[in-house]
Chain A
Amino acid sequence: MNTLIAIPSSTPGGLDAPLGAHFGHCDMYTMVSVKDKAIASVSVIPNVPHQQGGCMAPVQYLAEKGAKKLIAGGMGFRPLMGFNQVGIDVYFGGNFQTVGDAVNALINGELPQFSQEHTCGGGH
């Protein structure tokens, strides 16, 4: 069974693109389908507009796209809780520069789960 991973990315997206520094404000999402520990396909989708208080929009958007995992370098507390609520597992990929490196690290079990300690801002 394929697992769809969403990765906030900088332009132009794709495996060689830089990892987006902060979920929600990224240029786009690279969507990587993984099967049997190998990358099966790669696509890019646009981000959705994000206004103050509207951080559930990208959460629901990625859930509707079928994402089951997300790799993020930075994220606020509320979207992290939102992803947990919709069943998308979030991993911390802040130590990796490119989407491809972060995805391979996830496949190899090297990425920690994104915890409250990783979240941004004074709300944590």
Chain B
Amino acid sequence: MKQLLIVTSRPDDFADLAAGLSSHEPLSIAWADSTAAAQAAVSGKKVDLAVIDETVGDQPGLTVARDILMKNAMVNLAVVSRLSPEIFHDTAEGLGIMLQLPPRPDAGQVKMLMETMKSITGS
């Protein structure tokens, strides 16, 4: 069963995404509302994917992504961002972000998330 972590201060806005992902395949979903909580959730654990909000508390999502990678670089990352794809790509360079997500990701992003995961991990 895949392990998913959703990092956000506004869980209601990610409920549709979580429900869509759960209906797509068996998943264990954990939630974190801060960098510290996210780091604790990935340290020494197998987490297949972390979906990170544009801002978490007062931290930019890409900063949270970097802080997660410092604890566990094996976690695949998807980050919400309003930046254009080109600027997002440049800004996130070096972090190995799997996918950029729109501001209110919902069930419509499920297929892309899962297909991208599969192309990277094979499962």
Contact = CB atoms under 8 A, between A and B. Distances in A.
A78 interface: yes
Interface stretch (A5-13, A48-56, A90-98, A104-112): A48-56
A53 B93 CA distance: 10
B120 A79 contact: no
A52 B95 contact: no
Interface of B: 62, 65-66, 69-70, 72-74, 76-77, 90-99, 116, 119-120
Nearest to A56: B74
A53 B91 contact: no
Interface stretch (A25-33, A36-44, A114-122): A114-122
B94 A81 contact: no
Contacts of B73: 56, 59, 78-79, 81-82, 84-85
B72 to A, nearest CB: 7
Contacts of B96: 52-56, 76-79
Residue among A54, A57, A59, A119 having the largest count of chain B Cβ atoms under 10 Å: A54
20 contacts: A52-B98, A53-B76, A53-B77, A53-B99, A53-B116, A54-B98, A54-B120, A56-B74, A76-B95, A77-B96, A78-B73, A78-B94, A79-B73, A85-B72, A120-B94, A121-B90, A121-B95, A122-B94, A123-B62, A123-B93
